[in-house]
Structure 1
């Protein structure tokens, strides 16, 4: 069975895909398409999985990733960095044909963006810290430096932890509402002292607020769909020592 590649209609015609955990060569807790270089998985298997994932979206091209740190930083990509020289950032943009930019996730929201006319694409890792910090805003701005126009940019938010699975405490709610009182709409009461947070909805609103007129949410729940996706929170709830990561990719076809 090959990789599970989820695509989004607003990005039709642009090489892209949100991949799950199926179709790779890793075993055990990392079965099977684990691309997490920071996991205890066999590095050789991880590298093979990275190649399998890239080829499933755009065969034979180079794959660029960053050292993700839950920041709002975005960097331009002209060619991939060696793994040990990757910049600390959580988003990338490129206008170079033959390069795929890839974001790793295991509950956080992967965001892929494209301006077809300009031939500029972007990928962002939007965990709650990066999302509230403006990682998508910075990605849009970096795309514009390369010639994109936000009025033409389309975006898609891929598989991430869904509101029904994302329990947070009241302090989390307070932090978001202090940033913007309107953020209360992304929370629903849960068990006493807790809230359920709509990460995808929040990220979509940030994109819309930045002037992106076309935004899709693919709608899968990484925590609930165990056979299809890796999940940090699921692993933590189960007391597992580590977890795999999936990848989301976008590029400019040559």
Structure 2
């Protein structure tokens, strides 16, 4: 029997079935070695399916893994039953109150955010890159969970491995987008090289969660860019001129 791939857990999510997986413990050959789960990478679907199966077995054996076709937006879909992987809806978040479904979010520097209201039996998952975070993808996820019976005051959230401020250099135009939305957002930027700044994506996502009324928020402090042996990173692959990059998977289910 193959060993389960390693993954990180969040104390805030307690006994809810979940995991933040990295790039270890799968069957992908180089350059994707070894737990790539993203169809957008162009890797053989049979390999990706085996990697996804290992993740499901590690967290929720027998569950049906659901992904969405992520588009860097804010839409959240409610999953009441499964759908085929090759016919997944376009969205960047999911919410469910249905046992046996495992919600999966793909990332390669963006922030995976997992949500749970244990009392109501409702979970959610969001892909929060800077586009989606600024547009309010986490707010949309919370609202969708509420339609399923979750109470905002009872929802806890965990922000998984993402690119950290020390690794996330942005230009002045990027910084201005956030300032235009709210001048107070400037606190998520540190001065960098001339004409550039360092952006704190997980800090901004945590701020949006707190502003939405989420009282317990945990950040898994793993920098996907810096931890090249543990996580995939789009930005790192681009800087190195690598031929492609994998995607890691974060999952949560009832």
* TM-score of the superposed pair, with normalisation by structure 1: 0.98
Question: Within 5 A, what are the aligned runs for 1:125-144?
Answer: 125-144=127-146
Does 81-90 or 182-191 show the bigger shift? 81-90
SS in 1 for 2:123: strand
What do you get for the CA RMSD once the two structures are aligned? 0.7
Q: Distance in 2 between matches of 1:156 and 1:27?
A: 30
Select which of 95, 100, 104 maps to 2:102. 100
Quick one: which of 183, 197, 202 aligns to 1:181?
183
Conserved in 1, the CA contact under 8 Å of 2:106 and 2:247?
yes
1:92 Cα offset (Å): 0.2
Paired residue secondary structure (1:27): coil
Contact 2:66 / 2:85 at 8 angstroms: preserved in 1?
no
* Mapped pair 1:88 → 2:94: no
Q: Deviations over 1:48-70 (max 9, x none)?
A: 10111111111111101000000
Q: Would you say 1:13 and 2:9 are equivalent positions?
A: no
Give the aligned partner of residue 125 of structure 2: 123
- Measure the CA separation in 1 of the matches of 2:243 and 2:177: 29
Number of the residue aligned with 2:61:
59
Q: Give the TM-score taking structure 2 as reference length.
A: 0.98
The 8 Å contact of residues 111 and 128 in structure 2, kept in 1 or not, is answered as yes
Structure 2 alignment gaps of length 5 or more: none
- Distance in 1 between the 2:211 and 2:76 partners? 19
d(CA) in 2 for partners of 1:177, 1:89: 26
Count of residues in correspondence between the two structures: 252
For residue 239 of structure 2, the aligned residue among 237, 240, 246 is 237
Question: Contact 1:156–1:215 (CA<8 Å) still a contact in 2?
Answer: yes
Structure 2 counterpart of 1:170: 172
Cα deviations by residue, 1:103-145 (Å, 9 ceiling, x for unpaired): 0000000000000000000000000000000000000000000
Specify which of 192, 205, 208 is matched with residue 207 of structure 2: 205
